Each structure stands twice: as structure tokens, then as C-alpha cells.
Structure 1
Amino acid sequence: MRGEILTYDDGPGAGLISGDDGIRYSFGRADLQQLTPVRTGMKVDFVPIDGAATQVIVVSQTARTVSAASTPGVAGSGSSFDWKTLFLDANGRIGQKDYWIGVLILFAAGLVLSFVPLINTIASIASIYFGVCVSSKRLHDMGKSGWLAAIPYGVTAVAVVLSAMTFIGGMVATGYGNDYGAIQGMGAAGAVWGLAFLVNLAFLIWLGVTAGQPGDNAYGPPPRPLANF
């Protein structure tokens, strides 16, 4: 059967084909019969089996230009980098590549702005929203609720409370003004923050290495790349 590539994300190696019969078929990297780079709009020939496209062969190397508006619910504008969708919209789905690009940009921006006190405070508040938008869309691509993006912030809030409690507890146990108590309290607080850091790091890596669902899910069709470079 003939069809056209609707979406393809190199990260998880998954995409969607619109068949000439009007049905959409999911496919993976293993289904490609050529080493030709796959792009949106390419014409292909494939064998449909139970809603999936197998033995996919590219029959036209020229990919037509497809605007985001032509497929409702698909993130991406087709420009070189759709930063507005990446950082300002919590809806839709993004792939692993766009997720890591978003994480690195937020980290680099935070590092640079940390040297500017007033701007750093404002940027830190704004980055919470930007980070939630990036993580939420990645969770959607995995078929999970975007509310899970609040986990790192919840872990941090718990760490603040527990570190304060352990520090004060250490001081009380040994008596105020006792240097040993202060050191003990600081050590316990440091352990709490260390554990919180590991949990948040594990969450970040989990989002970045878990492949998205190959076909449509409750949050929309497979994502188009937001960063086309």
C-alpha cells in the first residue's frame, strides 16, 4: 500500500503513516527497509498489518512541506526551533531530543543568570513554569499524566522541611550552642538534600531515556520535532 509519512521522531525511532486508504499506521525504525533518512511528507510503500506499517520503503525522496495546522494537536511549527511550544505550552507531546534540548537550555540559562541577583530571582520563578511545560509534554508522549511533572518540586519542598527539622533536631539533641550539634544537624540536612538531588536526577533521566508511545494516545498523535537541526 502507498502512503505518506505524517510524523517521525529519530529519538524513539517511531512515526506515523497516513495510508491511501485514509487510515493511520504506526511504524518503527525496524520497519524501514532502507537507510534513507525519513522526513515528514515522504511518500512510502508499506505492508499494513493490524494497524501497523511494516516493510516500509521510501518511494519519493522529496518531502512536501507540512504545516502544524494541517494535523490538529501535533506540536511543532516546522520552523528551525519552535521555542514557544517547547517552553510555553504544557499541552501536546514532545520527543526525547526536544526534551533534552529544553533541559540543557534551562540549565544553561539558569547558570548564566545566577550571576545577576535580581534577574536570577525572577528567572528562577519563570523557569518553574518553563520546566513544567517541557516535562509535561514529555510525560504525555509516554502516555502519562502531565501532573507528574510536579514530582521534582514536591521532592524539593519535602527536602526543605526535612532538612530544617533534622538540623534543629540535631541542635536540640546536643544543646544549643554546641558545635558538635551544629555539625551533626548540618550533616543530616546535607544527607536529605543529597537524597533529594538523586531522586530529581533519576526523574530527569527517566523522562529523557523512556521512549514515547509510537501511535496516537490520549494526548494526541506522535510529536513532530520542535528543533529541526
Structure 2
Amino acid sequence: MRGEILSYDPLTGDGLISGDDLQRYAFTSTTAGIEPGRRVDFVVEEDRALSLMVLRDGPLPTAVYAPEPDLGLWGYFVRCVTDLYIEGQGRARRKEYWSFALFQFLIMMLAIMPIIGLAIADAETGYDMEAWGVAWICIVVLIYFALFIPYVAVAIRRFHDVGLSGWLILIGLVPYVGGLFVFIVSLLPSQPAVSVYGAPPKGTGQIAI
């Protein structure tokens, strides 16, 4: 379905679309480039517009975009594991990527600590803690995979932010050099201009015609 954005609040992400079917659809999105008057493509589900994509039909006028609000370290992490859990569209600034990486690391460290405690208790007290240890290892594995999905999504958006295809994240699977490549990309500054992946999340930028 396609339509035109009637209203949009960048602070809450809430807006309203007038569809080509003459119906109105509410939506909530942080997709870059959304503004009143924009033509968008979307999916209708229960009278709401989902999976918005801004259409780039014809030459676009030069325009300046305000930066998205700085959510802080914890705010970016929460958004990554909630609203943008599997969202690979759009762009992610360095602060968003490293905010997620920081809390992902801390959560995994906290999850592993009980395993160390159980191992010490097993050795010092003589109690058989193997069953508890195996159960907790299973929990740690579940936590890891639960955080791995949003990590892939934010990494793809980080690649988009520097002007690279998200598919290049697969280079990270190459032993040794892959991890270094992803690390270098994560440190690169954002492209200042609007790209095919959306407006720059940090600072103002102009549409590249």
C-alpha cells in the first residue's frame, strides 16, 4: 500500500498516513526521512501502517534535517532491544552501536558470574552443582541469542550510516580479519548527507540530489 504522510511527531514517532485507498492509517516509526507530505510505502495490519519505506520518486529538493534526540547510553540500548529489535532499515550512529555493545557485554558478564559461583561451590563444599550449572548455562545461551538478534540489526544500521551495504556484515564471519573489519566500520563517522538509507541520525544534513 502507498500513501502520503499527513502528520508526524519525531519525538514520539507517531503519525498518520492518508492511503491511496482513501483510508487513514496510524503508525509509529523511527524510519529516517519521514515528514508530512512524504510519499511512503507500507504494510497494513489491523488498521495500522507498518514497515514504512520513504519513496524517492523523482528529484528531491534540498532540505535540512534536524538530528534525532540523543537518547543516552541506556536509552539507545532499550530502543535496540524493543522498537528496533529486528529493524535493519535506517541508520545508527556510533553512540547507538557502542551503547548496545556496552550493555550487551555487561549483561553477558552478569549472566556468567553465577556459573563461576556454582563451580566454586562445587569445588569448595563438595555439593554436586552440575545440574544447576547445566541449567544456568542453558539460560546464558538463551540470553546470548536474545541479544544477538538486535546486535545484528544495529550493526547493519551502523554499516548503512557510513554508506555501506548491510550485507557486508557477513565479512565478520571471516576469521581474524572479519572482526577487525566490523570494528573499524563501527568507529567510522556518519555520512553527513542523506543517503539511500535515510537521513543522518546525528547533526543536520542535506539531501544528496
Range of TM-score over shorter length:
0.3 to 0.5
Higher relative contact order (CA 8 A, sep 6+): 1
Larger Rg: 1
TM-score normalised per structure 2 = 0.48
Q: Which has the higher helix share?
A: 1
